[in-house]
Chain A
């Protein structure tokens, strides 16, 4: 059993490593945009294959553990949760790449206006990812519920960002191509927050054995 416990510990560490890499990708892609650092954006795009490779490695390890250890109860829930949340993390990495690509395009053009909503969204999204992963390690707590609640803040900022850009576009249609790219970026961040929410929901499953996805969790919160 000690060997299996070590294997599970290594599995958790791999998930944390993947989480850190994704968190960095989100942070750097937004920094590349806000500080107009295209080199940093290219770096994010280049690093994505490491995230993909680790995602595959974790999945393979989960399949191996299921086949060889026939996990049950909390071990089973840990491994199935891991398989699902790494998919979410990998998708977040792809979103960071999309942000980096738009950053490179936008950095070639004069800046429309300083970024206000997007850095806020990025910050919340990063905290959501970090808290979700903390909950993954520390187990049952209020943390995953907090993550789920914060998703609304990101959704509100997405709407506000769109409305602001829309009024600018109405005033000056020439800026539409740039403004649309900015709405894309907000959408990517909004998707990142959704993936963090998925992770938090899976962690509640991991802890409690209860699926809360696609249900009202207001009574739980």
Chain B
């Protein structure tokens, strides 16, 4: 993390689902315009951690955060109750495991975030939709059928549409929760290329169960286990010479 600009600084983050202590004292900085991968066995807290970044947990009662996620450069704690979760989600977008387009046209899917914000200017919407679809490497495939239902697209295209939808609000951080686990290798490869392209503009946090994917696309990798951050480092070190025995056992497939 030497010579990196820090986009988000997580300090002593704890998270509780009611009585269940799901994340314990996480301290982890996220480098700006880099890809940080979160790996670890199912139930280790990766997705819980990711969801803290856009306040997804606020949707359910009894969930509780302590600690801080400081978003830079403005230095605001995005998990503070004083910060509006809707505003956080405009700045930090999320793409999920399975493509989840809205039952609307391709155009309206991408325009949705802006419409929620109150934008109705047709030319501004069109401009943003095109820019976002280009950013998600989908424009050439859909430019002549923007009014068609999003569900007409293939799985890989739907996922790129979701990425375009996430890009439309010009987020500073993009969260990916296993974005390719429902896709075939060709669609996966397109999304991976896209992530490498997107990091020129956006900071990316990705949860993945695919070790090779983390190795291919991430600049930094964090290994989590039982709600704790076990090891964090540059991806080369984690995959060639991890320092922690648990990390080594997990990535070499000898865990448990």
Contact = CB atoms under 8 A, between A and B. Distances in A.
Given A77-B240, A209-B240, A209-B241, A72 B254 contact: no
Contacts of B242: 73
Given A70-B212, A73-B248, A74-B248, A1 B240 contact: no
Contact of B239 (A1, A4, A72, A210): A72
B251 A73 contact: yes
Nearest to B243: A209
Contact of A77 (B212, B241, B253): B241
B239 A73 contact: yes
A72 B247 CA distance: 11
A75 B240 CA distance: 9
Contacts of A74: 248, 252
A6 B191 CA distance: 36
Interface in A155-213: 208-210
Interface residues of B, number: 13
A1 B256 CA distance: 11
B253 A4 contact: yes
A4 B252 CA distance: 10
Contacts of B10: none
A71 B212 contact: no
B211 interface: yes
B241 A72 contact: no
A4 B240 CA distance: 18
A65 interface: no
Contacts of A66: none
A73 B240 contact: yes
A63 B114 CA distance: 51
B252 A73 contact: yes
Given A209-B240, A209-B241, A75 B252 contact: yes
**Chain B interface mostly:** helix
Interface string B224-256: 000000000000000111100001100111100
A1 B249 CA distance: 11
Most buried by A among B212, B241, B247: B241
Contacts of A73: 239-242, 247-248, 251-252
A58 B108 CA distance: 58
Contacts of B239: 72-73, 76
B244 to A, nearest CB: 11
Contacts of B211: 70, 72
Given A72-B239, A209-B240, A1 B253 contact: yes
Interface string B184-226: 0000000000000000000000000001100100000000000
Contacts of B212: 70
B168 to A, nearest CB: 36
A75 B211 CA distance: 14
A184 B253 CA distance: 49
A145 B155 CA distance: 55
Nearest to B251: A72
7 contacts: A72-B211, A72-B251, A72-B252, A73-B239, A73-B247, A73-B248, A209-B240
Interface of A: 1, 4, 70-77, 208-210
Q: Which 3 A-B pairs have the closest CB atoms?
A: A209-B241, A72-B251, A73-B248
